[in-house]
Amino acid sequence: MGTVRRQFTKQFKREAVRLMTEQEVSVAQASRDLGVSENTLHRWKHEFSQHGEKAFPGNGQPIEAELARLRRENEVLRRERDILKKATVFFAKYQDGE
């Protein structure tokens, strides 16, 4: 079996970098505290120093996938609602006709 790759949020990465820079916690200590490898922390620190607030853009796929799923679900619900409205009108006319 392959290993599961951990994913970290943009906020987590920024807080980790802030911990090392502003609070002057060593990379080794931050690694132990956060459970992230030292190499990963060095990479995050370097990326943040190079790109600032634009660092860690992410690919946005989880949010986009969820949005697409919710839109599809919303469309199905609208169709079901419209069918029920039409059925209500039909049966109301049928009841009045008797």
List the CATH code of the domain at 8-58: 1.10.10.60
Asked if the model's pLDDT at residue 98 lies above 70, the reply is no
- Domain ranges across the chain: 8-58, 59-98
CA Rg value for the chain: 26
The model's pLDDT over 46-91, given as tens digits with 9 standing for 90+, comes to: 999 998 888 887 665 677 778 888 999 999 999 999 999 999 999 9
pLDDT for 1 equals: 59
Closest among 37, 30, 32 to 16, alpha carbons compared: 30
Asked if the model's pLDDT at residue 4 lies above 90, the reply is no
Contact between 51 and 76 (Cβ < 8 Å): no
SS3 state of residue 55: coil
**Rounded to two decimals, what is the model's pTM?**
0.56
